[in-house]
Chain A
Amino acid sequence: AQSVTQPDIHITVSEGASLELRCNYSYGATPYLFWYVQSPGQGLQLLLKYFSGDTLVQGIKGFEAEFKRSQSSFNLRKPSVHWSDAAEYFCAVGPYGGATNKLIFGTGTLLAVQP
């Protein structure tokens, strides 16, 4: 079955510290991979996406993610967290090929940033 696992429900980091949010997926083939961020009461904003090619993907707001096929992982990283990064982060997968782009989301990781 297709699924996305985000093992960390809640993470707290200090402002200026580095961040890594974990994402593991189960999929029949190489999927498209996405990270979205959701601020309280808001919709989802795309941070970055991976389709193919270079396994290290750069996104907006200084985020990056690395696709590791052998580990079925797509972890999100940021070298120095800002207070404005406090939000909920969702990893998602979509089908590679075909004519549909249904997304399967993880349950999210809530990030708190300490001053």
Chain B
Amino acid sequence: DAGVTQSPTHLIKTRGQQVTLRCSPKSGHDTVSWYQQALGQGPQFIFQYYEEEERQRGNFPDRFSGHQFPNYSSELNVNALLLGDSALYLCASSLWLAGETQYFGPGTRLLVL
């Protein structure tokens, strides 16, 4: 049983560009959450998707957007990249219930030059 998978593993972009990161949840999970982890910090919640809708959002600007597909996979899009967007982006999947364990993927390392 495959766990949470993310692609690509690494990405280099320049300021002002746009990027799309992808996530496939663990089999049987219907909820996908995205987190940003800056160097030396804990993960920060970006948003969460369930039934193809954004259900909750953290303190991130509108440049960060997402999508969930009918097969529960998800994309994270970031527009107008800033140097400060350089981070490890983690996807987590779970069932849609409070307290359900979130299983994390290996992350996508984004470097903005």
Contact = CB atoms under 8 A, between A and B. Distances in A.
B98 A101 contact: yes
B99 A32 contact: yes
A99 B99 contact: no
B113 to A, nearest CB: 20
Contact of B103 (A46, A95, A106): A46
Given A44-B104, A102-B56, A107 B96 contact: no
Contact of A107 (B35, B42, B90): B42
A51 interface: yes
A11 interface: no
Contacts, number: 76
A12 B4 CA distance: 31
A84 interface: no
Interface residues of A, number: 29
Contact of A97 (B94, B98, B101): B98
Contact of B43 (A32, A45, A101, A105): A105
Interface residues of B, number: 30
A45 B4 CA distance: 11
Interface in B10-58: 31, 33, 35, 40-45, 48, 55-56, 58
Contacts of B66: none
A108 B33 CA distance: 20
A105 B42 CA distance: 6
A97 B58 CA distance: 19
Nearest to A33: B99
A46 B42 contact: no
B107 A51 contact: no
A60 B103 CA distance: 15
B42 A101 contact: no
A43 B106 contact: yes
A51 B99 contact: yes
A-B CB proximity, top 6 nearest? A105-B42, A43-B104, A44-B104, A32-B99, A43-B106, A98-B98
